[in-house]
Amino acid sequence: MKRKPELFKKVLVANRGEIAVRVSRALKEMGIECVCVYSEADRLSSHIAFADEAYSIGPAPATQSYLNIERIIETAKKSGCQAVHPGYGFLAESHEFARACEDQGIVFIGPGSKSIEQMGFKTQARKIMKGSGVPVIPGGEEPLSDEAEAITLAEKFGYPVIIKASAGGGGKGMRIVRAAGEMKSAFKTARNEAESAFGNPAIYIEKYIDRPRHIEVQILADNYGSMVYLGERECSIQRRYQKLIEESPSPAIDAKKRKLLGETALKAAEAAGYRNAGTVEFILDQSGRFYFLEVNTRLQVEHPVTELTTGIDLVKEQIRIASGFPLGIKQKDIKPEGSAIECRIYAEDPSNDFLPSLGKISRLRNPAGPWVRMENYVYEGYDVPVYYDPLIAKLITWGQTRPEALARMSRALEEYVIEGIETTIPFHIWVIRDENFRKGDFSTSYIDEHYTGKPTDEHRKVPSDVALIAAAINRVESTAVPKKGSTGTTNRWKDTSRREGVS
Amino acid sequence: MEGYVKKGRRVVIYYASINGRDAKIKIEKKNDMYTIEIDDRSYVVDRQHLEGSGALSLVVDNKCYEASVTRSDGALLVCISGEKFEVTLKDELEYRSASPSARHTGLESEEIRAPMPGVVVCVEVEEGQRVSAGTAAVIVEAMKMQNEISAPAGGTVKQILVREGDVVDSRQVLVVIDRG
């Protein structure tokens, strides 16, 4: 689209949670009015408090609210927005949504609908990359018609193989198959998941690379053919293909490989006719060879680690590019510094197979201090809703070196208090203290190989006697939690000491 | 009534277990300070309630900690600096009455429960079907992920209590397995 470069006056953020807050902050800093939308389940979500205007867009289920294209476009027009920022998830990779925006004269802050469509359909993306000389993993590029076809292909590539959703990402609809006998159930669950998560049951199969690392490259491309890469992110700490910890730079990449990866990412972006911010994902096998995985045509959850090492605000860059400004930075000026790491705080119980943990946050203390960044939307008293992604916050730290960034992360995690629900904080504390992780010796199988859900003594810093002291005092005094404003500490002691026989 | 009188002061004793370790705790309060003995070690503890939060500020022999304690199924869950501990405490009476054999339940049926709230996507077993431990019984979708809920032990499916599309609560019984 040709338009004279001029910053938008008003932008709608078509998302919720921490990313809606993140985008609102960038808009405010740029002097752009921020419009947010919310479902009936999100009236008390804090992304509303960070916006200038808020519009209700329907019932709690995402399909009736945050995925309702018509309603969101109507809201953007009604509120006088010139552009829409989709965040990540929901409609961020919907080419229908991007096209609907284009048709209605609203700027979609992201790539064009055609790139999204091409890159979103993984089999098509692979074909384009293969044709442009970008290395890809051996695999069937056509969607599978049935289980028998899956078995034939699996035998051709050799087990293990992996089934993936053609329209998907984020681990939904993915299954590893190690023998023909496992194909039936994997085929079925992958299809079901693909259907329910993306509304498209198409799945495909490829050779599974054992113990790879997941490395991705952040790129920025303007509307006039200029492109840059902003270094890589290491995202190998994953569970069920959901990333939990990301860092930049990767401990497995040296300067020479970094340049090669960056240039390959730009080649991929060029092949896709890409513009705006995007991420080219690769997998790195144990011998150091890398293969194209996919292009994420949106802002990533883990974008802050790149922001901290490069000093570039990616959301503002997205908005500037979408406003029609040319890229203000050249490749030679991008010199990432230090080391940044992000821990994703999910409402999940790491001691119970990471099952979702729902409920009210009864106590919250966010970490702070030097080089600690919080991306957050929850507050004390907030009820985490069942309808959406369980990501409640992201904690990011920076250091001049990787050990310094890790020490800061460890310190920040120890300060972090979330009560009332289970979170991934204990998991992160465990990982940051783990010798393999500290040495940079890990792959995407790390959690399966090392994490049992139960912290061992070598990963603990708090003596167990202190826990016994806390438990004994709690029992001897009272089980009641003091209410706000109550002054009854002494009396409570008396009451319970009388009951328990201590005086 | 717990405890006994020692030099005019009450002392409470608990038998504790934490991460597979057993310990005996003696707790006594003097002049607003606690003296707590755990096995052969003695600690002087100053505790304050952080008003409004339910958390405890502990200064244990001048080392600082902040702890939260919650109750769950008879155990106390203690969280200190992001580390979690599960503690069970028994007073003298509870300790004496809990013989190890009393805990042994010769359960004849086993319930498969929903580990979290969600929607039943699919029931994978039928009544009367033989299953082994680990057999996927029900698939529940929560927060966009499908979770396979499998049989904790082998047996015969006695009863199926949910159907595809049902909304289930955490801990709701989905399937009953007869272990006979």
Task: Please confirm, yes or no, whether A239 is among the known catalytic residues.
Answer: no
In a domain, B103, yes or no: no
More confident position, B149 or A171:
B149
In a domain, A189, yes or no: yes
- Tell me, yes or no, whether B82 and B147 share the same domain: no
Quick check: A356 contacting B, CB < 8 Å? yes
Task: Report the residue of A351, A355, A477 to disrupt the B interface, i.e. the one with the largest count of B CBs within 10 Å.
Answer: A355
Mean pLDDT of A345-360: 92
pLDDT score of A2: 54
In degrees rounded to 5, what are phi and psi of residue A420? 105, -30
pTM of the model: 0.80
Task: Report the residue of B86, B116, B135 to disrupt the A interface, i.e. the one with the largest count of A CBs within 10 Å.
Answer: B116
* A61-114 confidence digits (pLDDT tens): 999 999 999 999 999 999 999 999 999 999 999 999 999 999 999 999 999 999
In a domain, B69, yes or no: yes
- Tell me, yes or no, whether A296 and A354 share the same domain: no
Banded pLDDT at A292 (limits 50, 70, 90): very high
From B50, B72, B97, the end of a domain falls on B97
Tell me the sheet residues that pair with A278: A219
Which CATH number does the domain housing residue B123 bear?
A: 2.40.50.100
Fill in the amino acid letter for A342: E
In a domain, B120, yes or no: yes
Banded pLDDT at B104 (limits 50, 70, 90): very low
Which CATH number does the domain housing residue A142 bear?
A: 3.30.1490.20
- Tell me, yes or no, whether A270 and A316 share the same domain: yes
Mean pLDDT of A135-156: 88
- Tell me, yes or no, whether B69 and B128 share the same domain: no
From A181, A207, A233, the end of a domain falls on A207
pLDDT score of A240: 84
From A147, A181, A207, the end of a domain falls on A207
Q: What angle do CA A63, A65, A70 make, to 5 degrees?
A: 90
Nearest partner of A430 among A404, A398, A452, A408, judged by Cα? A452
- Tell me, yes or no, whether B81 and B146 share the same domain: no
From B48, B63, B97, the end of a domain falls on B97
pLDDT score of A76: 98
* A266-279 confidence digits (pLDDT tens): 999 999 999 999 99
In a domain, A282, yes or no: yes
Mean pLDDT of B91-113: 67
Query: How many whole angstroms separate alpha carbon A157 and alpha carbon A153?
Result: 6
- Tell me, yes or no, whether A154 and A196 share the same domain: yes
- Tell me, yes or no, whether B65 and B128 share the same domain: no
- Tell me, yes or no, whether B114 and B83 share the same domain: no
Domain count across chain A:
5
In a domain, A133, yes or no: no
In a domain, A125, yes or no: no
Mean pLDDT of B101-109: 50
From A88, A109, A130, the end of a domain falls on A109
In a domain, B174, yes or no: yes
- Tell me, yes or no, whether B86 and B137 share the same domain: no
pLDDT at residue B20 is higher than 70 = yes
In a domain, A61, yes or no: yes
Task: Report the residue of B34, B85, B149 to disrupt the A interface, i.e. the one with the largest count of A CBs within 10 Å.
Answer: B85
Q: What is the mean pLDDT of chain A?
A: 91
In a domain, A447, yes or no: no
In a domain, B102, yes or no: no
Quick check: A388 contacting B, CB < 8 Å? yes
- Tell me, yes or no, whether A77 and A155 share the same domain: no
- Tell me, yes or no, whether B31 and B77 share the same domain: yes
- Tell me, yes or no, whether A233 and A194 share the same domain: no
pLDDT score of A3: 56
pLDDT at residue B102 is higher than 50 = no
Which CATH number does the domain housing residue B22 bear?
A: 3.30.700.30
Quick check: A462 contacting B, CB < 8 Å? yes
Domain encompassing residue B72: 4-97
- Tell me, yes or no, whether A182 and A218 share the same domain: no
CB contact under 8 A, B38 and A429: no
From B33, B67, B97, the end of a domain falls on B97
Banded pLDDT at B2 (limits 50, 70, 90): low
CB contact under 8 A, A465 and B38: yes
pLDDT at residue B106 is higher than 70 = no
Domain count across chain B:
2
Banded pLDDT at A498 (limits 50, 70, 90): very low
- Tell me, yes or no, whether A308 and A331 share the same domain: yes
Distances, alpha carbon A163 to alpha carbons A133, A500, B100, B148, in Å: 24, 60, 48, 17
Percent of chain B with pLDDT over 70: 88
Query: How many whole angstroms separate alpha carbon A231 and alpha carbon A307?
Result: 10
Domain encompassing residue A74: 10-109
pLDDT at residue B101 is higher than 70 = no
In a domain, A495, yes or no: yes
pLDDT at residue B80 is higher than 90 = yes
In a domain, A346, yes or no: yes
- Tell me, yes or no, whether B21 and B81 share the same domain: yes
Which CATH number does the domain housing residue A292 bear?
A: 3.30.470.20
Mean pLDDT of A31-49: 96
- Tell me, yes or no, whether A365 and A477 share the same domain: no
- Tell me, yes or no, whether B93 and B114 share the same domain: no
Judged by CB atoms within 8 Å, which residues 469-488 of A form the interface with B? 469-476, 479, 481-486
Banded pLDDT at B4 (limits 50, 70, 90): low
Residue of A nearest to B121 (CA): A192
Nearest partner of A436 among A426, A448, A424, A425, judged by Cα? A448
Quick check: A362 contacting B, CB < 8 Å? yes
Structure token pair of residue A408: 């800061």
Contacts 24+ apart (CB under 8 A), A231-236: A231/A258, A231/A262, A231/A306, A231/A309, A231/A310, A231/A334, A231/A336, A232/A258, A232/A261, A232/A262, A233/A279, A233/A300, A233/A302, A233/A305, A233/A306, A235/A302, A236/A212, A236/A442, A236/A443, A236/A444, A236/A446
- Tell me, yes or no, whether B84 and B152 share the same domain: no
Quick check: A280 contacting B, CB < 8 Å? no
Lowest-confidence region among A1-5, A266-270, B25-29: A1-5
- Tell me, yes or no, whether B39 and B113 share the same domain: no
- Tell me, yes or no, whether A408 and A432 share the same domain: yes
- Tell me, yes or no, whether A294 and A243 share the same domain: yes
pLDDT at residue A485 is higher than 50 = no
> Considering A233, A239, A258, A298, which one is annotated as catalytic?
A298
pLDDT score of A170: 65
Banded pLDDT at B1 (limits 50, 70, 90): very low
Residue of A nearest to B145 (CA): A172
Please determine, for the modelled complex, whether the ipTM score is greater than 0.85: no
In a domain, B161, yes or no: yes
With a CB cutoff of 8 Å and minimum separation 6, the contacts of A103 are none
Mean pLDDT of A48-65: 96
More confident position, B155 or B145:
B155
Mean pLDDT of B46-74: 89
- Tell me, yes or no, whether A376 and A291 share the same domain: no
Q: What is the SS3 assignment for A392? A: strand
* A419-445 confidence digits (pLDDT tens): 999 999 999 999 999 999 999 999 999
Quick check: B174 contacting A, CB < 8 Å? no
